[in-house]
A and B are shown apart, each in its own frame.
Chain A
Amino acid sequence: MAYGNAAFAALSDPTRRSVLERLALGPRAVGEIAEGLPVSRPAVSQHLKVLKEAGLVSDRQDGARRIYAIDPNGLGAMRAWLDQFWDTALLAFKAEAERTANDEKEDDA
Protein backbone atom coordinates (compact mmCIF):
# COMPACT_ATOMS: atom_id res chain seq x y z
CA MET A 1 0.00 0.00 0.00
CA ALA A 2 1.92 2.98 -1.30
CA TYR A 3 -0.10 5.45 0.72
CA GLY A 4 0.71 3.74 3.97
CA ASN A 5 4.38 3.52 3.06
CA ALA A 6 4.47 7.26 2.45
CA ALA A 7 3.04 7.76 5.92
CA PHE A 8 5.64 5.42 7.41
CA ALA A 9 8.43 7.33 5.73
CA ALA A 10 6.98 10.68 6.75
CA LEU A 11 6.88 9.62 10.39
CA SER A 12 10.38 8.20 10.50
CA ASP A 13 11.64 11.72 11.26
CA PRO A 14 11.40 12.83 14.91
CA THR A 15 10.80 16.49 14.02
CA ARG A 16 7.89 15.54 11.81
CA ARG A 17 6.47 13.49 14.66
CA SER A 18 6.75 16.57 16.89
CA VAL A 19 5.00 18.65 14.25
CA LEU A 20 2.18 16.15 14.02
CA GLU A 21 1.84 15.92 17.79
CA ARG A 22 1.41 19.70 17.92
CA LEU A 23 -1.27 19.53 15.26
CA ALA A 24 -3.03 16.89 17.34
CA LEU A 25 -3.82 19.72 19.77
CA GLY A 26 -5.64 21.62 17.04
CA PRO A 27 -5.07 23.46 13.74
CA ARG A 28 -2.05 25.77 13.75
CA ALA A 29 -0.18 28.20 11.52
CA VAL A 30 3.47 27.53 10.70
CA GLY A 31 4.71 30.08 13.22
CA GLU A 32 2.79 28.47 16.07
CA ILE A 33 4.02 25.03 15.11
CA ALA A 34 7.62 26.21 14.94
CA GLU A 35 7.52 27.79 18.42
CA GLY A 36 9.69 25.80 20.77
CA LEU A 37 10.93 23.44 18.10
CA PRO A 38 14.70 23.37 17.59
CA VAL A 39 14.39 23.96 13.86
CA SER A 40 13.79 27.00 11.65
CA ARG A 41 10.42 28.04 10.26
CA PRO A 42 11.42 27.16 6.69
CA ALA A 43 12.44 23.73 7.95
CA VAL A 44 9.03 23.32 9.60
CA SER A 45 7.38 24.34 6.33
CA GLN A 46 9.39 21.68 4.55
CA HIS A 47 8.33 19.04 7.09
CA LEU A 48 4.70 20.12 6.69
CA LYS A 49 5.01 19.64 2.96
CA VAL A 50 6.21 16.06 3.44
CA LEU A 51 3.39 15.35 5.90
CA LYS A 52 0.88 16.80 3.46
CA GLU A 53 2.16 14.66 0.61
CA ALA A 54 1.89 11.62 2.85
CA GLY A 55 -1.77 12.40 3.44
CA LEU A 56 -1.31 13.06 7.16
CA VAL A 57 -1.84 16.83 7.15
CA SER A 58 -4.17 19.15 5.25
CA ASP A 59 -3.96 22.94 4.89
CA ARG A 60 -6.23 25.87 4.11
CA GLN A 61 -5.67 29.57 3.50
CA ASP A 62 -6.94 31.90 6.24
CA GLY A 63 -6.31 35.48 5.10
CA ALA A 64 -2.55 35.90 4.97
CA ARG A 65 -1.93 32.74 6.95
CA ARG A 66 -1.95 29.12 5.99
CA ILE A 67 -3.49 26.90 8.65
CA TYR A 68 -2.42 23.29 8.97
CA ALA A 69 -4.47 20.51 10.54
CA ILE A 70 -4.34 16.77 10.88
CA ASP A 71 -6.09 15.18 7.94
CA PRO A 72 -8.69 12.78 9.37
CA ASN A 73 -8.39 10.71 6.23
CA GLY A 74 -4.78 10.08 7.19
CA LEU A 75 -6.01 8.06 10.15
CA GLY A 76 -6.39 5.07 7.92
CA ALA A 77 -2.69 5.21 7.30
CA MET A 78 -2.03 5.48 11.02
CA ARG A 79 -3.67 2.15 11.52
CA ALA A 80 -1.79 0.65 8.62
CA TRP A 81 0.87 -1.07 10.62
CA LEU A 82 -1.66 -2.88 12.80
CA ASP A 83 -3.77 -3.68 9.79
CA GLN A 84 -0.80 -5.21 8.01
CA PHE A 85 0.26 -7.02 11.14
CA TRP A 86 -3.03 -8.88 11.51
CA ASP A 87 -3.02 -9.72 7.81
CA THR A 88 0.37 -11.32 8.18
CA ALA A 89 -0.55 -13.10 11.38
CA LEU A 90 -3.85 -14.54 10.13
CA LEU A 91 -2.34 -15.78 6.90
CA ALA A 92 0.34 -17.55 8.92
CA PHE A 93 -2.40 -19.02 11.13
CA LYS A 94 -4.37 -20.25 8.11
CA ALA A 95 -1.29 -21.86 6.60
CA GLU A 96 -0.50 -23.64 9.85
CA ALA A 97 -4.07 -24.83 10.43
CA GLU A 98 -4.37 -26.23 6.91
CA ARG A 99 -0.86 -27.71 6.94
CA THR A 100 -1.53 -29.70 10.11
CA ALA A 101 -4.91 -30.80 8.74
CA ASN A 102 -3.27 -32.13 5.58
CA ASP A 103 -0.57 -33.87 7.58
CA GLU A 104 -3.23 -35.72 9.52
CA LYS A 105 -5.01 -36.81 6.37
CA GLU A 106 -1.75 -38.22 5.09
CA ASP A 107 -1.21 -39.99 8.38
CA ASP A 108 -4.67 -41.55 8.10
CA ALA A 109 -4.03 -42.79 4.57
Chain B
Amino acid sequence: MTLAIKPAPVRKSLTVAVKPERAFEVFTTGFDRWWPRSHSIGEAPLKTAVIERRQGGRWYGLLENGTEAEWGDVLAWEPPKRLLLAWRIGADWQFDPNLHTEVEVLFAPEGESATRVSLEHRLLENMGAAGEGARASFDSDGGWGGLLQMFAAEAVKAS
Protein backbone atom coordinates (compact mmCIF):
# COMPACT_ATOMS: atom_id res chain seq x y z
CA MET B 1 0.00 0.00 0.00
CA THR B 2 1.21 3.44 -0.87
CA LEU B 3 0.37 6.33 1.35
CA ALA B 4 0.02 9.16 -1.10
CA ILE B 5 0.03 11.79 1.58
CA LYS B 6 2.22 14.79 1.11
CA PRO B 7 2.80 17.66 3.43
CA ALA B 8 1.15 20.92 2.51
CA PRO B 9 3.50 23.84 1.99
CA VAL B 10 4.15 26.00 5.01
CA ARG B 11 2.61 29.41 4.29
CA LYS B 12 3.11 32.54 6.34
CA SER B 13 2.35 36.17 5.78
CA LEU B 14 2.57 39.33 7.78
CA THR B 15 2.53 43.07 7.30
CA VAL B 16 5.69 45.05 7.85
CA ALA B 17 5.47 48.81 8.33
CA VAL B 18 8.04 49.67 5.69
CA LYS B 19 7.92 49.95 1.89
CA PRO B 20 8.66 46.88 -0.27
CA GLU B 21 12.08 48.21 -1.28
CA ARG B 22 13.18 48.37 2.34
CA ALA B 23 11.51 45.09 3.27
CA PHE B 24 13.34 43.33 0.46
CA GLU B 25 16.58 45.01 1.43
CA VAL B 26 16.36 44.03 5.08
CA PHE B 27 15.31 40.50 4.20
CA THR B 28 18.33 39.98 1.93
CA THR B 29 21.20 42.36 2.65
CA GLY B 30 20.12 42.59 6.28
CA PHE B 31 19.63 38.82 6.53
CA ASP B 32 22.28 38.41 9.19
CA ARG B 33 20.61 40.97 11.44
CA TRP B 34 17.39 39.01 11.87
CA TRP B 35 18.00 35.34 11.06
CA PRO B 36 17.50 33.39 14.32
CA ARG B 37 20.87 32.25 15.63
CA SER B 38 19.40 28.97 16.76
CA HIS B 39 18.69 27.95 13.18
CA SER B 40 21.95 26.86 11.67
CA ILE B 41 23.71 23.68 10.70
CA GLY B 42 27.37 22.75 11.00
CA GLU B 43 29.90 22.09 13.69
CA ALA B 44 30.28 25.59 15.07
CA PRO B 45 27.95 28.41 16.07
CA LEU B 46 26.69 30.71 13.32
CA LYS B 47 28.68 33.88 12.92
CA THR B 48 27.17 35.52 9.84
CA ALA B 49 24.17 34.58 7.70
CA VAL B 50 24.42 35.57 4.04
CA ILE B 51 22.10 35.80 1.03
CA GLU B 52 24.07 36.69 -2.10
CA ARG B 53 22.46 39.46 -4.08
CA ARG B 54 21.95 37.78 -7.42
CA GLN B 55 20.16 34.95 -9.15
CA GLY B 56 22.45 31.94 -9.09
CA GLY B 57 24.09 33.14 -5.90
CA ARG B 58 24.09 31.18 -2.67
CA TRP B 59 22.71 31.60 0.79
CA TYR B 60 24.79 30.21 3.59
CA GLY B 61 26.15 30.60 7.08
CA LEU B 62 29.67 31.60 8.01
CA LEU B 63 30.53 29.72 11.17
CA GLU B 64 32.71 30.84 14.02
CA ASN B 65 35.33 28.23 13.18
CA GLY B 66 35.82 29.84 9.77
CA THR B 67 33.93 27.21 7.76
CA GLU B 68 30.80 27.71 5.68
CA ALA B 69 27.51 25.89 6.07
CA GLU B 70 25.70 25.93 2.74
CA TRP B 71 21.92 26.16 2.82
CA GLY B 72 21.08 26.47 -0.87
CA ASP B 73 21.04 29.00 -3.65
CA VAL B 74 19.16 31.96 -4.99
CA LEU B 75 16.81 30.78 -7.74
CA ALA B 76 15.18 34.13 -8.42
CA TRP B 77 16.28 37.63 -7.47
CA GLU B 78 13.58 40.14 -8.34
CA PRO B 79 13.82 43.16 -6.04
CA PRO B 80 11.64 44.48 -4.58
CA LYS B 81 8.91 41.94 -5.39
CA ARG B 82 10.14 38.38 -5.15
CA LEU B 83 12.88 36.18 -3.79
CA LEU B 84 13.07 32.46 -4.47
CA LEU B 85 15.53 30.38 -2.48
CA ALA B 86 16.39 26.72 -2.80
CA TRP B 87 16.50 25.16 0.67
CA ARG B 88 18.82 22.19 0.39
CA ILE B 89 19.10 21.17 4.00
CA GLY B 90 17.88 17.62 4.35
CA ALA B 91 16.09 15.65 6.97
CA ASP B 92 19.42 14.80 8.59
CA TRP B 93 20.35 18.49 8.87
CA GLN B 94 23.02 18.07 6.22
CA PHE B 95 23.41 20.13 3.09
CA ASP B 96 22.48 18.04 0.05
CA PRO B 97 23.03 19.68 -3.35
CA ASN B 98 20.46 17.32 -4.90
CA LEU B 99 17.70 18.17 -2.48
CA HIS B 100 15.17 20.61 -3.85
CA THR B 101 12.71 22.42 -1.63
CA GLU B 102 11.77 26.03 -2.30
CA VAL B 103 11.23 29.07 -0.14
CA GLU B 104 9.42 31.82 -2.04
CA VAL B 105 9.05 35.25 -0.49
CA LEU B 106 6.74 37.84 -2.05
CA PHE B 107 6.75 41.52 -1.11
CA ALA B 108 3.54 43.36 -2.07
CA PRO B 109 2.83 47.01 -1.31
CA GLU B 110 0.09 47.56 1.24
CA GLY B 111 -1.14 51.13 1.31
CA GLU B 112 1.43 53.91 1.12
CA SER B 113 4.13 52.69 3.42
CA ALA B 114 3.66 49.06 4.34
CA THR B 115 4.41 45.70 2.76
CA ARG B 116 2.63 42.39 2.85
CA VAL B 117 5.32 39.74 3.09
CA SER B 118 4.18 36.25 2.10
CA LEU B 119 6.41 33.24 2.51
CA GLU B 120 5.84 29.75 1.19
CA HIS B 121 8.14 26.81 1.95
CA ARG B 122 7.11 24.12 -0.50
CA LEU B 123 8.10 20.75 -1.96
CA LEU B 124 8.59 19.51 1.58
CA GLU B 125 7.87 16.02 0.32
CA ASN B 126 11.35 16.04 -1.19
CA MET B 127 12.98 16.24 2.20
CA GLY B 128 15.28 13.32 2.70
CA ALA B 129 14.39 11.69 -0.58
CA ALA B 130 16.58 13.75 -2.85
CA GLY B 131 18.79 10.93 -4.03
CA GLU B 132 15.88 8.82 -5.19
CA GLY B 133 14.18 11.15 -7.61
CA ALA B 134 11.86 12.25 -4.88
CA ARG B 135 8.25 11.33 -5.26
CA ALA B 136 5.40 13.00 -3.50
CA SER B 137 4.53 10.20 -1.18
CA PHE B 138 5.43 8.75 2.14
CA ASP B 139 5.91 5.19 1.01
CA SER B 140 9.61 5.17 1.75
CA ASP B 141 11.95 5.90 4.60
CA GLY B 142 13.19 8.78 2.53
CA GLY B 143 9.80 10.46 2.58
CA TRP B 144 8.27 9.79 5.93
CA GLY B 145 11.35 8.64 7.74
CA GLY B 146 13.25 11.67 6.64
CA LEU B 147 10.65 14.05 7.94
CA LEU B 148 10.49 12.12 11.15
CA GLN B 149 14.20 12.36 11.67
CA MET B 150 14.16 16.06 11.06
CA PHE B 151 11.24 16.49 13.37
CA ALA B 152 12.94 14.42 16.02
CA ALA B 153 16.18 16.32 15.67
CA GLU B 154 14.31 19.52 16.34
CA ALA B 155 12.54 17.95 19.28
CA VAL B 156 15.86 16.92 20.79
CA LYS B 157 17.27 20.39 20.32
CA ALA B 158 14.20 21.88 21.92
CA SER B 159 14.31 19.63 24.97
Interface positions of A (Cβ within 8 A of B): 7-9, 11-12, 17, 20-21, 24-27, 70, 72, 75, 78-83, 85-98, 100-101
Contacts and interface: CB of A to CB of B under 8 A. Distances in A.
B144 interface: yes
Among B27, B143, B151, residue most surrounded by chain A Cβ atoms (within 10 Å): B151
Contacts of A95: 34
B150 A26 contact: no
A95 B34 CA distance: 8
B44 interface: no
Contacts of B147: 78
Contact of A92 (B34, B141, B149): B34
B interface, size bucket: 35 or more
B144 A27 contact: no
Given A75-B5, A88-B36, A12 B10 contact: no
Interface of B: 1, 3, 5, 7-8, 10, 12, 14, 16-18, 22-23, 26-27, 30, 33-36, 39, 117, 119, 121, 124, 138-141, 143-145, 147-152, 154-156, 158-159
B27 to A, nearest CB: 6
Contacts of B33: 96, 100
A9 B151 CA distance: 10
A79 B158 CA distance: 15
B96 to A, nearest CB: 17
Nearest to B38: A88
B5 A90 contact: no
8 contacts: A20-B144, A78-B147, A81-B155, A86-B121, A88-B36, A93-B34, A96-B26, A96-B33
Contact of B139 (A12, A25, A88, A97): A25
Given A94-B16, A97-B16, A97-B34, 5 more contacts: A20-B148, A24-B3, A24-B138, A80-B151, A90-B119
Nearest to A88: B36
B52 to A, nearest CB: 18
Given A24-B144, A97-B22, A11 B151 contact: yes
Contacts of B39: 85, 88-89
A21 B148 contact: yes
Shortest beta-carbon contacts, A-B, top 4: A24-B144, A8-B155, A96-B34, A26-B1
A100 B33 CA distance: 10
Contacts of B119: 86, 90
